[in-house]
Chain A
Amino acid sequence: MRMLPVLSRLAWRYLWRNHRRTIIMLSAIVIGVWAMIFMTALTRGMVDQMIKDGISVMPGHVQVHNPRFLDDPSVTNRIAIGDEQLARKFDPAGFRAWASRVKVPAVITSERESRGVTLLGIDPAAEREFSFVSYDEVEGRFLEGVDDNGIVIGRKLAGTLDTEVGKRVVLMSQDPDNEIADRGFRVVGLFKANMPAFEEAYVFIGKKAAQKMLRIGDTTTEIVFLGDDYRNVEPTYETVSAVVDSTLEVRRWHEVDTYLGTMMKVMDGFVLIWVVVIFLALSFGLVNTLVMAVFERVREIGLMLALGMKPASILGQIIIESMMLLAVGLAIGDLLAWATIQPLQDGIDISVVAEGMEMMGASSVLYPKLYWNDMLLANVVVLILGFLASLSPAWRASRYEPVEAIAKVG
């Protein structure tokens, strides 16, 4: 251990003896590290956005249904507990936000066309935290309360239905007795969503208006909760489960939307594979550089051994040399990645492939997201694998027979 400062100085000097080779290897490491982190940040950003969009669209972090509702989405399978009672249960529990809503399939008809939609009867005040609607971009106005008599539909749907703000449409669904329940509404607002498909799929009316139209008193079909972090929904799940009884089904968002759930899991695997693959591509050059570095100073190594330096110190010195090279490469690579990601934080517009991104469930603006964890993972993986890769050349160097090595013509 006492040798460490000396060995480090030696290693550092050796590194710059052939500065051209070191710089080329360094550039390769920097590019590799940059690519690892940059690519990871891009994909992370995409998946994050997908999940955020996805969660805000419907599920919240945790949701509660009548267990039969998912297979048979009808008001018959609603939540039998009224809103007042729900408020008594959930208000004191201290969620970031919660809301109960009427969510059922419906048919919307204008003077010209009809389409199938999902009807959402909501309390606009309670839903502010959830909705995917960008409130500032609503043409006309959004709903103002549970009693609002208007309807807010997506821009795209308005186009298909040939309707506009101020015109009337008819909503049709079913009441609990399987009778057709319908009512006319005036279109008061057109909303815009990140993904055009949402603009076609959902329409909003006031919760009270929906309950009255469907004749379901003050009951609803879905309750949603938001916790603090979508990556860890367990606390919210526990709290909700403790409050509701077993007649209701409580589910986490990744159980509701298994696609997004898997996406998040696959992402973690992807980051690791990507980092390892890049490292392997780098490792050939790294080992090569070390082999060369050892080869061109066989005589010196022989001399050092002859003078009494321990083989372990030779081994240590080569490894330190390799680690220094990697550390410098990592430092520059990390910095470069940070410097290129930073200016892109406001989003990269990729709307040329908007509909393709939508098919993947992602929006057309990409927000790269640099996680310290990912960066740490890349750095640790590179250092550990780098250490392993340098073992072989270092080992060989320490095994030289002093006399033979000195005699070698370098």
Chain B
Amino acid sequence: MNIVLRLAWRNLWRQPRRTWLTIGAMVFSNTLLVFMISLQFGMYGLMIDNTLQVFTGHMQVQAPGYKDDQKMRQTIADIVPLAAKLREEFQSSNVAARSWAFGLASSDERSFGIGIFGVEPDFEPQVSNIPGLVKEGRYLRENDDTEIVIGSVLARNLRVALGDEITILGSGRDGSFAAAVFNVVGIFESGVSDIDRNFAEIPLALFEDVFYMDGAGHQVVISAATLDAAELLQPRVAAALPAGSKLAVHSWDVLQPGLKQAIQADMSSAFFMYGVLVILVAFSVLNTQLMSVLERTHEFGIVLSLGLKAGRLGRLIMLETALMGVIGLVLGAIAGAIFTSWFTTNGLSIPGMEEMAANFNLPARIYPQVTPWTMIAGPLVVFAFTLLAAAYPALRLHRLHPVEAMRAN
């Protein structure tokens, strides 16, 4: 084995320029792949986190059908005790009950239709980042009884400031007329104008009174430490629901189908690009190895006539390719990691991309992270295709006739 390895190594450096150029193609593609995959999956993570932490959480318990229609009467009965029970069951405070209604918010001068959330002030901060985004005034407290927190754009549109009054008109759970007057105690600013324009939050207890909820609510939001933990948690939540209830537990990708699909669509276009890069490298290797086989026809003829099996020669070619591939893999992965790390510390921002980024809940400057996986996945695929490409020249050796081969050149 040792001698074959040495032979392969020496063969590789007969034409150092050609070998380096082929390795160069691998290193180039690998560097690019490491960088792009790190960036891509880093962005997906950010997109998911930033989107889910606004309202959605990792999963929600809802009445059947609520997800699609969000109708007032699709409720969960006794929602506060249910949330408390789940908190106790999982020893976790990242569980909060919520209700949602549509209403007409009016100030002295303006009226706009908005969504009103009834939230548990003590637990909402664990599942949503809105409480932390209050820029003026304060967030809700458990015993507030006329207080409301609204978005900054809504405040501007309604022309209200802290301490001003807002009237909300809507309809209650039974379809009856619901109205109440609230004091603005806090104004939140998320930076996403759709959120800042369209939402207000009031304490859940107050919501129940105003909209005649009779103890019922619309969603129990649950957050886990990570996406993976959330996946494990979901069946346990489903099991913990009261026996015989029709309630459904929806995971984030069901609640935000657009998010997952945007990622899928982006992934398929990214994979098309990666695929092209990998195939081009494979062609480069194919060309090199075929040349190196062809120019050794004479020499192969001799060793074949001396009794060496074509299969062993083929393995030699594969070994040469593998050696080349390993160099390309190692150098490429390292170069990719170094290249990406530069952006990990300095951040990557493309001028003019801020608006696009905001559309996907991404910050303007992105810091891609190299993980062992993003560092090795792309180069491994390149390596596999490299070996595949060398199969043709290696198998071709079986068709070689020793005598004819010796006459070549």
A31 closest partner in B (C-beta): B279
Interface residues of A in 351-373 (CB under 8 A from B): 352-361
The smallest C-beta distance from A260 to any residue of chain B, in angstroms, reads: 9
The smallest C-beta distance from A272 to any residue of chain B, in angstroms, reads: 13
Best-surrounded residue of B70, B171, B258, B288 (most CB of chain A within 10 A): B258
B263 closest partner in A (C-beta): A356
A292 touches B269 (CB 8 A): no
A353 touches B71 (CB 8 A): no
A293 closest partner in B (C-beta): B291
The smallest C-beta distance from B380 to any residue of chain A, in angstroms, reads: 18
Residues on the B chain within 8 Å of A73, using CB: 157
Best-surrounded residue of B156, B264, B273, B287 (most CB of chain A within 10 A): B287
B265 touches A262 (CB 8 A): no
Q: Assess A21 versus B283: contact at CB under 8 Å? Given A263-B356, A360-B265.
A: no
The smallest C-beta distance from A275 to any residue of chain B, in angstroms, reads: 12
Complex Cα distance A386/B319, Å? Answer: 32
Mask: chain A, 247-274; 1 = CB below 8 Å from B; 0 = not: 0000000000011011101100000001
The smallest C-beta distance from B291 to any residue of chain A, in angstroms, reads: 6
A28 within 8 Å of B (CB atoms): yes
Interface residues of B in 73-114 (CB under 8 A from A): 102-104, 106, 108-114
The smallest C-beta distance from A183 to any residue of chain B, in angstroms, reads: 15
A281 touches B28 (CB 8 A): yes
Residues on the A chain within 8 Å of B284, using CB: 28, 284-285, 288
The smallest C-beta distance from B391 to any residue of chain A, in angstroms, reads: 14
A289 within 8 Å of B (CB atoms): yes
Interface residues of B in 259-273 (CB under 8 A from A): 259-266, 269, 272-273
A25 within 8 Å of B (CB atoms): yes
Residues on the B chain within 8 Å of A114, using CB: 102-104, 113, 170-171
B215 within 8 Å of A (CB atoms): no
Complex Cα distance A359/B32, Å? Answer: 27
B17 within 8 Å of A (CB atoms): yes
Mask: chain A, 272-296; 1 = CB below 8 Å from B; 0 = not: 0010011011101101110110011
A284 touches B25 (CB 8 A): yes
Interface residues of B in 311-366 (CB under 8 A from A): 350, 352-356, 359-360
B17 touches A291 (CB 8 A): yes
B6 within 8 Å of A (CB atoms): no
B102 touches A113 (CB 8 A): yes
Pick from A72, A281, A288, A296: contact of B277, CB under 8 Å: A281
Complex Cα distance A288/B289, Å? Answer: 12
Complex Cα distance A74/B286, Å? Answer: 67
A134 within 8 Å of B (CB atoms): no
Please count the residue pairs between chain A and chain B whose beta carbons lie under 8 angstroms apart in the complex: 180
A284 closest partner in B (C-beta): B25
Complex Cα distance A303/B230, Å? Answer: 74
Best-surrounded residue of A25, A285, A291, A350 (most CB of chain B within 10 A): A285
Q: Is the interface of A mostly helix, strand, loop or mixed?
A: helix
Residues on the B chain within 8 Å of A292, using CB: 18, 291
B280 touches A278 (CB 8 A): yes
A354 touches B25 (CB 8 A): no
The smallest C-beta distance from A58 to any residue of chain B, in angstroms, reads: 15
Interface size class of A (residues with CB under 8 A): 35 or more
A258 closest partner in B (C-beta): B355
B357 closest partner in A (C-beta): A262
The smallest C-beta distance from A165 to any residue of chain B, in angstroms, reads: 19
A160 touches B110 (CB 8 A): no
Residues on the B chain within 8 Å of A24, using CB: 283, 286-287, 290
Residues on the A chain within 8 Å of B29, using CB: 281
Best-surrounded residue of B69, B108, B262, B273 (most CB of chain A within 10 A): B262
A353 touches B265 (CB 8 A): yes
Q: Assess A356 versus B21: contact at CB under 8 Å? Given A160-B70, A172-B104, A281-B280.
A: no
The smallest C-beta distance from B180 to any residue of chain A, in angstroms, reads: 15
A116 within 8 Å of B (CB atoms): yes
Complex Cα distance A331/B23, Å? Answer: 28
Complex Cα distance A105/B15, Å? Answer: 73
A21 touches B290 (CB 8 A): yes
Complex Cα distance A281/B280, Å? Answer: 7
Q: Assess A160 versus B69: contact at CB under 8 Å? Given A31-B279, A114-B170, A259-B355.
A: yes
B111 touches A174 (CB 8 A): yes
Q: Assess A20 versus B294: contact at CB under 8 Å? Given A266-B350, A356-B263, A359-B258.
A: yes
Pick from B25, B109, B115, B261: contact of A285, CB under 8 Å: B25
B110 touches A178 (CB 8 A): yes
Residues on the B chain within 8 Å of A107, using CB: 102, 104, 111, 113
B126 within 8 Å of A (CB atoms): no
B291 touches A21 (CB 8 A): yes
The smallest C-beta distance from B31 to any residue of chain A, in angstroms, reads: 11
Complex Cα distance A71/B350, Å? Answer: 28
Q: Assess A28 versus B356: contact at CB under 8 Å? Given A180-B111, A282-B280, A353-B265.
A: no
A240 within 8 Å of B (CB atoms): no
Q: Assess A116 versus B18: contact at CB under 8 Å? Given A284-B25, A285-B280, A285-B283.
A: no
Complex Cα distance A72/B158, Å? Answer: 8
A361 touches B18 (CB 8 A): no
B113 touches A105 (CB 8 A): yes
Pick from A105, A263, A280, A284: contact of B112, CB under 8 Å: A105
A7 within 8 Å of B (CB atoms): no
Residues on the B chain within 8 Å of A361, using CB: 359
Q: Assess A354 versus B156: contact at CB under 8 Å? Given A28-B283, A31-B276, A285-B284.
A: no
Best-surrounded residue of A43, A265, A266 (most CB of chain B within 10 A): A266
Complex Cα distance A214/B48, Å? Answer: 42
A360 touches B262 (CB 8 A): yes
A25 touches B264 (CB 8 A): no
B113 touches A106 (CB 8 A): yes
A35 within 8 Å of B (CB atoms): yes
B358 closest partner in A (C-beta): A259
Complex Cα distance A174/B111, Å? Answer: 7
B21 closest partner in A (C-beta): A288
> Besides A116-B113, A277-B277, A285-B21, 17 other CB < 8 A contacts?
A20-B294, A72-B156, A114-B102, A114-B104, A114-B171, A116-B102, A174-B111, A262-B352, A265-B352, A281-B28, A285-B280, A285-B287, A288-B18, A292-B18, A355-B257, A356-B258, A356-B264
Residues of chain B whose beta carbon lies under 8 Å from any beta carbon of chain A: 15, 17-18, 21-22, 24-25, 28-29, 32, 69-72, 102-104, 106, 108-115, 156-157, 159, 170-171, 175, 198, 257-266, 269, 272-273, 276-277, 279-281, 283-284, 286-288, 290-291, 294-295, 350, 352-356, 359-360
Instruction: Write 5 A-B pairs (CB below 8 A) sorted by A numbering.
Output: A73-B157, A105-B113, A285-B25, A291-B18, A356-B260
Residues of chain A whose beta carbon lies under 8 Å from any beta carbon of chain B: 20-21, 24-25, 27-28, 31-32, 35, 39, 42-43, 71-74, 105-107, 109, 111-117, 159-160, 162, 172-174, 178, 180, 258-259, 261-263, 265-266, 274, 277-278, 280-282, 284-285, 287-289, 291-292, 295-296, 350, 352-361
A-B interface, 7 closest residue pairs, ranked by CB to CB distance from nearest: A356-B261, A116-B113, A284-B25, A356-B262, A28-B283, A353-B261, A107-B113
